Structure formats: C-alpha cells, structure tokens
Amino acid sequence: MISKSKKLVYVSESLINEAIEAARRDGKSIGSFIEESLKLALSARRTGYNLKEASDLLKVIHANRTLGGAYIPMDILNHLIKVAYKKKPKKIREKWYESGMLHGKYLKEKFEDPIRAFKTFLEAARWDLNEVEVQKDGDTIKFRCFSTILTEEGTDMLLKYVEGVFHGIGYKTIRNDHMKGMIILEFKH
Amino acid sequence: MTLKSTKRKTLFAREDLVNRLLSIAKRQGRSLYSLVNEIFELVIRAEDLGVNIQTAFEERWILKNAQKDGFILVPEGLWYEMAEIAYQNSKDEALKKWFEAGVWLAKRYIEVETEEPFEAFKRSLKAYNWNMVEIMINEEDQKISIRIISPRMPETYANLYSTFVEGALNTFGYKIAKKEVSFGNIRIEAVGKES
C-alpha cells in the first residue's frame, strides 16, 4: 500500500529552482515532479543500473535517434554485409566510413568527452562485441575491440566505421591492425 | 553538474519513497542529501536534453530486449543501402533470410513468453521500429492487420521487412490474406490458419 505520509528532505537550492522550472515547463506541480523523479530513480535501481549509467545512456540514445540508428537482426546484418561486401566492396566500405565520420562529428559537437560517449554507445548497442577498450595517452588514443561472433566482413565494416568516427572527432590513424573478430587501432590528434 | 549554490531548500515527499531512498543511501554509504541531489540532477539533465526520462528507461529495456532477440543497432541509412545491394544481387536468398529471421523471432517468443507471446512480439516490433513514422498492429478475433509507414523506407527494404513480418505471422499461426508493399509503406492482413 502506498503511504500518504510525507517526509522532509534537503535539496540544494539551485537544483530546486531548476526543478521548479522543469515542472513548470511540463505543466506539473513541483510535488508531483519530485515524486515522479524519485519513483523513476527507484525503478532504475530495481533494473540494476545506476543513475550515472542511466544519464550516459540517455545522452547516447538521444544521439542515436538523431543519427538514425535502427535495429536489425544480427543474422540479417551479417547477410547484408556479406552480399554487399562481395558485390560492391569499395562502395560499402566508403558508406560505413562516411557513416562513422558523421557520427564522430556529431559526438564532437554534442559531447564534452566524445570518445567516452562513443565507447558507451558501442558497449550499449553492439552486444556482439565482447570487449571494447579505449585508452587515452596524451594526444594518442588506442582502440581495441574483440568479438567471438563478428564475421570477417563485419570486422572490416566496423573498422571503417570506427576509423570514420575517430576521424570525425579529429584524430588521424597511426596504426591499423585487424583480423576476424579483432580490431586494434591507434589514433593521434 | 556543478552546484552553483550550496543553499538548501526543504521539500516534502511521500514517506514510503523517502524510506526506500534512505535504505539505498545507507547501503551505498552516502547521505540522503547527496542521493536526492543526484536524482534531481539526472532528471533536470534529461529535461534539458529534451528527453523524457521515463522514455529513457523504456529505451534501456529496448536495448536489453534487442540483445535477447538478436537485434543490433546500426545506422538506418547503411542497412537500407546494403539491403538494396543484397536484394538486387540475390533476391531469393535475401527474402529467405528475412523470412527465416521472422520465424526465428516468433519461435523465440512462443518458447520464452509462454503466456502472451504475440503481445510480447508486438511490443518488441514496435520498439525496434522507432525509426518508422507509424507502426500499427491491430488484432481482432482471428484477424491481424499491420501497417508500417516511413517516408525514408525504400521499396526493396519494405519488401524484405514485409517478408520478415510474414515469417513471424506464419509461425504464430496466421496466413497472409493481403499484402501491399510500396515505397515507405507496408500493409499486411492475416487470418488465423484455423479460422
């Protein structure tokens, strides 16, 4: 049963002022805005991810919608890549690269840390990758990803896409090493 | 977000919600104050982005569900392009692949969502087609009517996707009574095989 009793909690004034403004924009009372926020936070906890992750994911999903990301069965994607790669390899590699460039430019414009945002995107959306690692060392970036299910053609397409993303952000490739299910890239600003 | 002010305000909230937050804060070894402020920061950040936070949680569900269903997130333009090449070069094989993918998904729902598999399938189909302008699935007695509209959907892709839906409907026990496919538009009507 839902309790009707109320409790008093302290919140920083600047946040409350922003919350009042957000509630006003939504046409809600500040009371219902606060209760909804608390309920959502509890619901997020129940589903097993924390607020920081929720916040990062929120931005990444928003970016994906803007960039036209859409779902496709993995088997179909592999089939499409296989046929397209066989028939028009140059064209299709260019397309993946261009798509990555667009993604990278968008991330650079919209995110304080576009590389972290890209890693969050890959981890959330590309579950076919077992491991995604991005190490920043001064103006050099080391990118590695591993997958036990990625096809040879799929690896090559993903490589072009990742290169496009980093080039879009403003990096240049200094090392490119890949084989089926494994991509190792290094970039320099 | 950096706090511009350290002033505090008092708020009233439902006791049961506050009690649960208190226990979360205790578990995490932090104050209720910091937890409540973090929640507000998240909600306000979402608002500033123009994203409804409820929707964001639902989308988290979509990502998790997509993984179970074997769906992957790829820029739409890319797979329209590849679908076009696949369709032009090996039409029969492409259609067969999409049909089989539909069969696979429906079978998964029948096996896993034993109570209401078709409802679960409908929910996922709508969720995965966030790029479509309209997706309508009506079910009445033993008849199903599906309409998918997107001005960006090429005819070849519409053909492939309709075959995917056909594979799924077939597995759920329906046969196609009418199918119309054109640029940006899929309309399918199906009836129960036993009706």
B32 touches chain A (CB under 8 A): yes
Interface test with B, best of A1, A7, A121 (most B CBs within 10 A): A7
Is B176 within the bounds of a domain? yes
Is B109 within the bounds of a domain? yes
Determine, for residues B8 and A124 on separate chains, whether the beta-carbon distance falls below 8 Å.
no
Domain identity same for B102 and B188: yes
Is B94 within the bounds of a domain? yes
Cα angle value B71/B72/B78 (rounded, 5°): 125
Domain identity same for B95 and B44: no
User: What pLDDT, on a 0 to 100 scale, did the predictor assign at position B2?
Assistant: 47
A71 touches chain B (CB under 8 A): yes
Domain identity same for B175 and B91: yes
Beta bridge partners of A175: A186
Beta bridge partners of B147: B136, B187
Residue A77: what are its φ and ψ, rounded to 5°? -60, -45
Is B155 within the bounds of a domain? yes
Q: What is the mean pLDDT of residues A119-143?
A: 89
- Domain of B171? 78-192
Tell me the pairing of strands B185-192 and B174-182: antiparallel
B151 touches chain A (CB under 8 A): no
Task: Name the residue among A4, A68, A95 with its Cβ closest to that of B131.
Answer: A68
Q: Which residue has the tokens 């053609």?
A: A153
| Residue B156 vs residue A66, higher pLDDT | B156
Q: Grade residue A53 by pLDDT with cuts at 50, 70 and 90.
A: low
Q: What is the mean pLDDT of residues B47-67?
A: 74
What is the complex's ipTM, to 2 decimals? Answer: 0.73
Domain identity same for B38 and B113: no
B-contacting residues in A 143-182 (Cβ below 8 Å): none
Domain identity same for B178 and B141: yes
% of chain A exceeding 90 in pLDDT: 43
Tens digits of residue pLDDT in A8-37? 878 788 888 888 888 888 788 888 888 877
What total number of domains does chain B contain?
Answer: 2
Q: Does B142 score more than 90 pLDDT?
A: no
CA A17 to chain B, closest CA, distance in angstroms equals 9
- Whether the CB-CB separation of A181 and A135 falls below 8 Å is answered with no
Q: Does A141 score more than 90 pLDDT?
A: yes
User: What pLDDT, on a 0 to 100 scale, did the predictor assign at position A55?
Assistant: 66
B58 touches chain A (CB under 8 A): no
For A23-62, letters b (16+ CB in 10 Å) and e give: beeeeeebeebbbbbbebbeebbeeeeebeebbbbbbbbb
CATH code for residues A52-188: 3.30.1380
Q: Grade residue A44 by pLDDT with cuts at 50, 70 and 90.
A: low
Q: Does A118 score more than 60 pLDDT?
A: yes
Tell me the pairing of strands A182-188 and A140-146: antiparallel
Domain identity same for B47 and B89: no
A49 touches chain B (CB under 8 A): yes
Residue B140: what are its φ and ψ, rounded to 5°? -145, 125
Domain identity same for B89 and B158: yes
Is B56 within the bounds of a domain? no
